[in-house]
Chains A and B, each alone.
Chain A
Amino acid sequence: MKMRRMRGLIAATLLAGLSAPALADNIVMWVNGPLASSPDAPIYAELKAFEAATGHTVEVQAVPHMEMERNLFVALSSGAGPDVMALDIAWVAGLADAGLLADITAQTAPIAAEYQPGPLASGRYDQKQYALPLYTNNVALFVNDRMLAEAGIKKAPSNWAEFRDAAVAMTNKDKQTYGVSFGGNRMGAFQLYSFIWQNGGEIVDEAGKVRVGEPAAEEAVDFLAKLYTQSRAMPDSVLTAGNWDEVHAPFIQERAGMVVTGDWALAAFTKGNPNLKFSVHPLPAGVKSATVIGGYDLAIKAGSKVEKPAFELLRWLTGSRSIALMQKYERLSATAAATSPEAIAALPKQLQPFMAQASSGRARPVVAQWTQIHSDVFANVWDAVIRGKPAKDAMAEANTAITGLLEKK
């Protein structure tokens, strides 16, 4: 009798197990620090909603931006690391090339139209999709309205000539004010890409040819460098500013009238100088408009044991809900729906210029060696040119160096 009852119990348990929904999975996720800066950061509420809807659990770990690439490289190479990771769009190619990211081409093909083409392309490498865009950004021109007015200029510059004139007009040696704050090294390199494209130049074209030695690219670098070397319209911090805080500092202190930066600066400016009166404008155009696309993508670790639920999480965070989620961070959703006139009108006023110029956004070349090209080559080009090296020579050397890097696999 006892034995029969026991058998019945086992059978009931098995049946219950078979008919229950699939077991919940735990997904480990690394996000860049600002997204999970405090326990009440919006992402936690969003993840709670995801957990409630799917039954999975998500374990979030915040990693500072500057450490993320290195930490991902170390962790993923050793077979550890997160199931889902937020990664700067510039890192996708390198990690994908190393076989560290899961190929999600098949899953994303039917939903590709839901995303803006530029940000979606940032997650693609070698004809395969490895990541979906979590949020997008680009760089615009921030102008100190008071300094601009005091310089006798009525409207924010909209082309290169106006940009140079405004920068020179706002420079006053006695008052120690400057026209534009710019970064050194990697920061400066990031800022100058937009200008190269605006002048009709290219870095690496779609055919894979390196074109930084061409006149259009040289002229752009020369134009910016001369704002410092000749017009002295940039503060000396251009020689040392190695992070955004240092690039922003002269603008916050009202010692520089303009700065080329992204939406991440908005919070820094409000916090650093609540009395600062500034406005945001599309980047002044060269022969055409262009702005460098930035932002973060979400990707899945190659060989993750929870690949299916991880993709559900990617969809949840990058899909239609991302418009509301990213607004809470004052960031831009990368969904196609976020570019509709209604969605743009619903954005805070200072974010609108970024979305308005999104159509002229350009992604940096999606090549595996990009980190090295950016850090070793372009950073040194900018450092050399602002210290007096002719742009033509610096860019010719850069052309050779990048070609060498791309040839070496």
Chain B
Amino acid sequence: MTIARAPRPLRLRPTWSSVFETGLGARVYPYLMVFPAVLLVLGVVVYPVLSGISWSFYDVTLRKLNSGSFTFVGFKNFERVFADPVFVRASINTLVWVILNVVAQLGLGLALALLLHRPVRGIGFFRSGILVPWVVPSVVAVLTWRWMYDPSVGIVNEMLVRLGIIDSYRPWLGDTATSLYAVTVESIWKGTPFVMLLLLAALQLVPRSILEAASMDGASGWRKLWYVILPQIRVSFAIAAVLTFILTVNNFNAIWLMTEGGPLNSSEILFTLAYKYGFQRFDLGLASAVATMLFVGLVIATTLYLKLMQAREAD
């Protein structure tokens, strides 16, 4: 007589990782996985930010940086920054720089997106072509524009003279009245394709039936844009606005490589001013004070951006 044995339940051979399958191990496992990333973010993002903010309350100069003996000065760095007439000039310039960039990039980006949204033959070529400024490395673009603005041989002057807009060549980057606007033109040229891309993607999600219904109701092009299209893409539009704001405030390359904030601080923005405080004066306390103010502004903008993203998801 043979006794039939019940088959043993199949069990995998335990390995070192089995400890994470049940109990405390399983609960710890996800935290363990994100730990390296958290460590990295703490090291390269959180620590520098906190350190920068704390430095804005200390007297940190090149001499003191080496000795490591910083003196706590409270809000004195902020007082010094506000007392500097260049800071006032840079703040106004930053405002002008941001408003012009955001308004122009959104306006032109929307216009281009509407233009390129049409089902025309060969539209792919134009859509790709319009992205060229965005794809060109920013340093290359800036240096090219610098030569285009050259007061003696620049093509911008030549074109404007031939079009009869100006009588003679002008030093666009060397004139305190035009330097900021000249750099702004380059920045708008570089940034608009990105906005166009965002809005074009949003336009493609607008249901055709709504547009057809509006047409049947006799809505003109402007009315369709204002009452149908813009409400449909409003969240994308707002996201584009916030992103443009952040990218413009952070656009250090354009101003630094074209004018270094000059002449006579006429194109100075807060970012270039912070750089000068830090790496020309080697006064890191002062630079940190400006950077902290910029940081607060950008945090507000980023929070707004995240809220808008949530709103879009809710839509």
Binding site for B on A (CB under 8 A): 70, 73, 76-77, 94, 97-100, 176, 184-185, 235-240, 242, 250, 253, 255, 368, 371-372, 375-376, 379-380, 383-384, 387
State how many angstroms separate the Cβ of B96 from the closest Cβ of chain A.
20
In the complex formed, the residue of B with least CB distance to A241 is: B174
Q: Does B158 contact A (CB under 8 A)?
A: no
The answer to whether the Cβ of B52 comes within 8 Å of any Cβ in the partner chain is no
Evaluate contact between A97 and B169: CB separation under 8 angstroms.
no
CA distance A214 to B36 in the complex (A): 63
Beyond A99-B67, A383-B264, is A237–B152 a contact (Cβ under 8 Å)? yes
Q: Are A239's CB and B171's CB within 8 A?
A: yes
List, sorted by A's number, 16 A–B pairs whose CB atoms are closer than 8 Å. Answer: A70-B279, A77-B65, A98-B62, A98-B65, A235-B152, A236-B170, A238-B174, A240-B151, A240-B174, A240-B259, A240-B263, A242-B260, A372-B280, A375-B276, A375-B280, A376-B281
Q: Which residues on the A side are within 8 Å of B263 (C-beta)?
A: 184-185, 239-240, 383, 387
> Hey, which bits of chain B sit against chain A, CB under 8 A?
62-63, 65-67, 150-153, 169-171, 173-176, 259-260, 262-265, 276, 279-282
Assembly CA distance A238 to B175 (angstroms): 11
User: Which residue of A has the minimal Cβ distance to B278?
Assistant: A70
A368 to B176, CA, bound (A): 31
Q: Quick one: given A73-B282, A376-B280, A383-B262, are A250 and B152 in contact (CB under 8 Å)?
A: yes
Q: Are A98 and B152 also in contact (CB < 8 A) when A70-B279, A240-B171 are?
A: no
| Chain B residues closer than 8 Å to A70, beta-carbon distance | 279
- Nearest residue, chain A, Cβ from B279: A70
Most chain A Cβ neighbours within 10 Å, of B67, B264, B281, B282: B282
- B174 proximity list for chain A (CB < 8 A): 184, 236-240
Given contacts A77-B62, A236-B152, A371-B280, contact A380 B264 (CB under 8 A): yes
Q: How far is the CA of A380 from the CA of B276 in the complex (A)?
A: 14
Contact B151 A97 (CB under 8 A): no
With A77-B66, A99-B67, A235-B152 given, is the CB distance from A185 to B280 under 8 Å?
Answer: no
Instruction: Decide: A99 and B152 in contact? CB cutoff 8 A.
Output: no
A98 close to B171 (CB less than 8 A): no
> Measured between alpha carbons, how far is A73 from B174 in the docked complex, in Å?
30
Contact in complex: B279, A236 (CB < 8 Å): no
Cα A240 to Cα B149 in complex, Å, equals 10
Contacts of B264 in A (CB 8 A): 380, 383-384, 387
Which of B63, B66, B262 is A185 in contact with, Cβ under 8 Å? B262
A371 and B282 CA atoms in complex are apart in Å by 9
Bound together, the chains give a CA A12 to CA B171 distance in angstroms of: 77
* 6 cross-chain pairs, A with B, having the tightest CB-CB distances, nearest first: A239-B174, A236-B151, A240-B174, A98-B62, A239-B171, A77-B65
B98 to chain A, nearest CB (A): 24
Residues of B with C-beta under 8 A to A387: 176, 263-264
B240: min CB distance to chain A, Å? 33
How far is the CB of A201 from the nearest CB of chain B, in Å? Answer: 23
- Residues of B within 8 Å of A255, CB to CB, are 152
For the A-B complex with A236-B169, A250-B152, A380-B264 known, give 16 more contacts whose Cβ atoms are closer than 8 Å.
A70-B279, A97-B63, A176-B152, A184-B263, A239-B174, A239-B263, A240-B259, A242-B260, A253-B153, A375-B276, A375-B280, A376-B280, A383-B262, A383-B264, A387-B263, A387-B264
Expressed in whole angstroms, the Cα–Cα distance for A236 and B264 within the complex equals 16
Q: Provide the residues of chain B in CB contact with A73, threshold 8 Å.
A: 62, 279, 282
**Shortest beta-carbon distance, B145 to chain A, in Å?**
12
Residues of the B chain whose Cβ atoms lie less than 8 Å from the Cβ of A250 = 152
A237 to chain B, nearest CB (A): 6
Residues of B contacting A235 with CB < 8 Å?
151-152
A97, A239, A255, A387, most chain B CB atoms within 10 A: A239
| Residues A94 and B151 in contact, CB atoms below 8 Å apart | no
In the complex the two chains form, what is the Cα distance from A185 to B280 in whole Å? 14
Q: Which residues of B contact A380 (CB under 8 A)?
A: 264-265
Contacts A236-B152, A237-B150: A100 and B66 contacting too (C-beta < 8 A)?
A: yes
Min Cβ gap B83→A in Å is 12
The chain A residue sitting closest to B262, CB to CB, is A185
Q: Give chain A residues whose Cβ lies under 8 Å from the Cβ of B65.
A: 77, 98
Asked if residues B151 and A99 are in contact (CB atoms below 8 Å), the reply is no
Q: Chain A's nearest CB lies how many Å from the CB of B157? A: 10
Which of A73, A184, A236, A372 gathers the greatest number of chain B CB atoms within 10 Å?
A236
B256 to chain A, nearest CB (A): 11
Query: Which residues of A are found within 8 Å of B176, using beta-carbon distances?
Result: 387
What is the bound-complex CA distance between A379 and B152, given in angstroms?
A: 22
Determine the distance from Cα of A47 to Cα of B66 in the docked complex, in whole angstroms. Answer: 30
Roughly how many angstroms separate A224 CA and B280 CA in the complex, as a whole number? 26
Q: Is the CB of A98 within 8 A of B66?
A: yes
Contact B171 A236 (CB under 8 A): yes
| Closest residue of A by beta carbon distance from B176 | A387
CA distance A242 to B173 in the complex (A): 11
How far apart are B258's CB and chain A's nearest CB, in angstroms?
A: 9
